Amino acid sequence: MSLNRFSGFAPGIENVARRRFVQGVALGSGVAIFGGFGKPAWALGGSERPSVLSGTDFALEIAEAPVRFTGAARMATAVNGLLPGPTLRWREGDTVTLRVTNRLRVPTSIHWHGIVLPAAMDGVPGFSFTGIAPGETFTYRFPVRQSGTYWYHSHSRFQEQTGLYGALVIDPAGRDSIRAERDYVVMLNDWSDENPEAIYAHLKKMGDYYNYTEPTARDFLADVSRVGLAQALASRTMWNRMRMSPRDLVDVTAATYTYLMNGHAPAGNWTGLFRPGERVRLRFINGSSNSFFDVRIPGLKLRVVAADGQNVEPVEVDEFRIATAEVYDVIVEPREDRAYTIFAQSLSRDGYARGTLATRAGMQASIPPLDPVPTLTMIDMMGAMAQGGMHDMRGMNHGSMPGMDMPGMAMDAVPAVRHARSEYDNPNVDMRVDSPRTNLDDPGVGLRDNGRRVLTYADLHTLGGSLYPQPVTREIELHLTGNMQRFVWGFDGLKFSQAEPVHFRHGEHLRLTLVNDTMMTHPIHLHGMWSELESPEQKFQVRKHTISVQPAQRVTYRVMADALGRWAYHCHLLYHMEAGMMREVVVS
C-alpha cells in the first residue's frame, strides 16, 4: 500500500493511515462470523462461543467485554461476549422469542433494524418501551413476516458505537431464489478507542475536529492549474464566505476510527473460503455508527441481488457505496485459484476495512491504494442549478445561504421548493437549497467518473413491484437541515427536542418528500414501515428501510401507514441523530 498520496494533506494523516492498517485483531472474546451456513469457513481470531444462533428461541446477554483493536485495552459492549454479536438466523413464518438480559451498569436496548413488527417490540427507549434496566431481562416476541439480510443494534445513547450490533439472516419460507454454494455475512463497522461521549463533545465544540483533509496550499495550486487563477480564487472565496469546507464529507474519520470487517481490523484479514467456480453470496451490512464505505473486490464483478433485505433485479457493477445502516447482497463467482481482496474504503479516504476471499487459509491479495480525497462540488451545494450549468459563485441565489450577501440569479429554470418557516432566521440552519436535484443516477461525491461501474439507486428495481398500488392520499415534505459549525442537526431546522411528532393516520398511503438542505449525505431510516423509493417521475423504484439522501437532493418515497404506534424516524449517522436529526412518527 502506497502512502505517498497523503503528502499534500494535513500533518499526521500519513501516520494515521499507516497506524490504522497495522492494527490487528483485537478481541478479548474473539469473533468469527459464520460462512456457508453450516459449512466450515476460516477466519482469524475464531471463538469457541457460537457466532451463529438459529431457531425460534434465543438468549442474549449484553455485557462489557475487553478488546484491543489498536494495541490499547478498551471495553466494548458485546452480545454473548462477541463483537459483532452472534448472527441470528430466523425463518420466515416463524414466531421468534428473544430474551435479552442486561449485565451493564446502565440501561440498554436492541432494535431489530428493518424488521416489520409491533411497536412494543421495536426496541427504542422512550418510544415503544422503557428500555432494559441493569440486571433485568426483556422478552421480545413477534412473528417473522419477511426474509433476507438485516441487522440489530442498540438504540441507547452511544452503545452502538461501542459494539452492540449483529447480523440477522432470515431464510424464506420456501426455496431461496438466490442460489449460492457459499454464503457469508460481511459486516462493516467503525471502532474508536475514544469514549463516544468524548467524540460527541469534540464535535459540538468543533464540527470538523476529526477532519485532517481540509484544502491546503497544494490543493489551491492544483485548482489553479486545472481551472485558472480567477476561478480558483472565486471558489476559495465562496467557501470561506460561507464558513464551509468542500471537504465536509463525514464528521468522524480515521483520525479516531479503526474500520472493521466482521470484527477484524485490516491486519486481521477476515477470510472466507471458496472453491473456484462456486457462487459466493456476500451479505454486506454497514453496521457502522458514522461511516460510508465504497466497496469493491478487484478482479471480480459484483452482481447485486438484494437491497435492504428485498430481492432486486440483478445488476452487475464494479463498486457500490453503502451508507450507514444499508444492506446489499451480492453474488461473486471467482474462477481462479487465488485470493481476492474485499476492499471497503471510507468516504473520507483515510482508511478502509479489508478482508479476503481465498481458496486456502492464510492467502492474501494486494490491497489497492486509497482513492483521492473527494471534494464537494456545486452540484452538492446548489443541486439542479449546478446541473443546469451554473458552476461558479455567480450562480448562487443569495437567499439560499443565510447570512450571505451575494447577487442572485433567476430561479425559474428549475422548480423551486418551499422551506418551512422554521428554517429562516434560525442559527441551527446554515444552508438552504432552493432548487434541489431529483436524479437517482448519481453515485455520489468521490465516485463520479472514476472509471468503474458504480451502483446507483437508479439501477435498483425490487422484484415484484410495489406493495402499495393504491393512490397516494396525502403528501408530507421535510427538509434535512443543520449547522456544521454548531454541530446541530434536524428536520426543518428543528432539533428532536423542539419538534412535535409527525402524525400518520392508520391505513393512509403517504408520499414523503425529503429535501437535503445540507452538503452531507444523510441515511434516513423510518422504523416499522417500508419506504418505497420513487423515480423522479414518481414511479416505484426500490423498497428499502434506509434511504440515503445526497447533498442538495430531493427524493420521494411512499409509505403505507399500516403499523399502529409510536415510531422513530431519524438520520442513521449516530452523532447526527443524537444532535437532533430525529422525529417521532405516531400512527393512530
Q: What is the number of alpha carbons within 13 Å of residue 522 lying toward its C-beta?
A: 30
What are 157-182's pLDDT values in tens digits?
A: 999 999 999 999 999 999 999 999 99
How much is the pLDDT for 65?
97
pLDDT, mean of residues 42-50: 45
Q: Where is 583: in which H helix or E strand?
A: strand 582-587
Is residue 241 pLDDT above 90, yes or no? Answer: no
- Per-residue b/e over 321-346, b at no fewer than 16 CB within 10 Å? bbbbbbbbbbbbebeeeebbbbbbbb
- Per-residue confidence band for 293, with pLDDT thresholds at 50, 70 and 90: very high
Three-class SS state of 14: helix
Residue 48 vs residues 34, 89, 117, 268: alpha-carbon distances, Å: 12, 18, 32, 18
How much is the pLDDT for 245?
73
How much is the pLDDT for 448?
95
Task: Report DSSP state, residue 264.
Answer: B
Dihedrals phi, psi of 36, to nearest 5 degrees:
75, 0
Inter-axis angle of helices 229-242 and 217-227, nearest 10: 130
How much is the pLDDT for 436?
95
Closest CA to 554 of 526, 518, 582: 518
Cα distance between residue 424 and residue 554, in whole Å: 19
How much is the pLDDT for 395?
34
Percent pLDDT > 70 in the chain is: 82
Closest CA to 452 of 315, 277, 585, 301: 301
- Per-residue confidence band for 46, with pLDDT thresholds at 50, 70 and 90: very low
Work out whether the CA dihedral 425, 430, 436, 440 comes out positive or negative.
Answer: negative
What are 327-350's pLDDT values in tens digits?
A: 999 999 999 999 999 999 999 999
What are 411-463's pLDDT values in tens digits?
A: 344 556 889 999 999 999 999 999 999 999 999 999 999 999 999 999 999 99
Provide the phi-psi class of 131: left if phi over 0, else alpha when psi is between -120 and 50, else beta. Answer: left
- Per-residue confidence band for 228, with pLDDT thresholds at 50, 70 and 90: confident
Cα distance between residue 328 and residue 332, in whole Å: 13
Cell numbers of 81, please? 461476549
Cell numbers of 350, please? 483515510
Q: Which residues pair with 149 in a beta bridge?
A: 169
Cell numbers of 140, please? 421480545
- Per-residue confidence band for 38, with pLDDT thresholds at 50, 70 and 90: very low
How much is the pLDDT for 252?
97
Cell numbers of 134, please? 441493569
Cα distance between residue 86 and residue 575, in whole Å: 25
Q: Where is 37: in which H helix or E strand?
A: none
Q: Are residues 144 and 90 in contact, defined by beta-carbon separation less than 8 angstroms?
A: yes
Cα distance between residue 442 and residue 175, in whole Å: 35
Is residue 260 pLDDT above 80, yes or no? Answer: yes
Cell numbers of 79, please? 452480545
- Per-residue confidence band for 377, with pLDDT thresholds at 50, 70 and 90: confident
How much is the pLDDT for 23?
53
Dihedrals phi, psi of 468, to nearest 5 degrees:
-125, 80
Q: Which has the higher per-residue pLDDT, 296 or 207?
A: 296
pLDDT, mean of residues 564-585: 98
Residue 167 vs residues 282, 304, 492: alpha-carbon distances, Å: 13, 19, 33
What are 86-137's pLDDT values in tens digits?
A: 999 999 999 999 999 999 999 999 999 999 999 999 999 999 899 999 999 9
Cα–Cα–Cα angle for 221, 222, 228, rounded to 5 degrees: 80
Rg, the chain, Cα only: 23
Q: Are residues 558 and 144 in contact, defined by beta-carbon separation less than 8 angstroms?
A: no
Cα distance between residue 419 and residue 433, in whole Å: 9
Is residue 35 pLDDT above 80, yes or no? Answer: no
How much is the pLDDT for 246?
74
What are 488-517's pLDDT values in tens digits?
A: 999 999 999 999 999 999 999 999 999 999
Is residue 195 pLDDT above 90, yes or no? Answer: yes
- Per-residue confidence band for 4, with pLDDT thresholds at 50, 70 and 90: very low
Give the residue ranges of DSSP H helices in 449-579.
574-578
- Per-residue confidence band for 213, with pLDDT thresholds at 50, 70 and 90: confident
Closest CA to 190 of 114, 269, 102, 266: 266
- Per-residue confidence band for 231, with pLDDT thresholds at 50, 70 and 90: confident
Task: Report DSSP state, residue 94.
Answer: -
Closest CA to 567 of 582, 547, 584: 584
Closest CA to 216 of 11, 10, 375, 15: 10
Is there a cis peptide before residue 84, judged by omega within 30 degrees of 0?
A: yes
Give the residue ranges of DSSP H helices in 156-285.
196-205, 217-227, 229-242
Contacts of 89 (CB under 8 A, 6+ apart): 37, 52, 53, 54, 55, 168, 169, 170, 171
Closest CA to 490 of 382, 404, 587, 578: 578
Closest CA to 355 of 39, 65, 76, 33: 33
How much is the pLDDT for 337?
98
Is residue 525 pLDDT above 60, yes or no? Answer: yes
Tell me which amino acid residue 78 is: A
Closest CA to 448 of 380, 381, 515: 380
Residue 566 vs residues 125, 143, 157, 502, 570: alpha-carbon distances, Å: 11, 19, 19, 10, 13
Dihedrals phi, psi of 417, to nearest 5 degrees:
-110, 165
Contacts of 223 (CB under 8 A, 6+ apart): 231, 232, 235, 236
Work out whether the CA dihedral 317, 323, 328, 333 comes out positive or negative.
Answer: positive
Cα distance between residue 292 and residue 577, in whole Å: 16
Residue 574 vs residues 187, 472, 513, 522: alpha-carbon distances, Å: 17, 31, 22, 11
Is residue 140 pLDDT above 50, yes or no? Answer: yes
Three-class SS state of 456: coil
In which residue are the cell numbers 479476503 written?
356
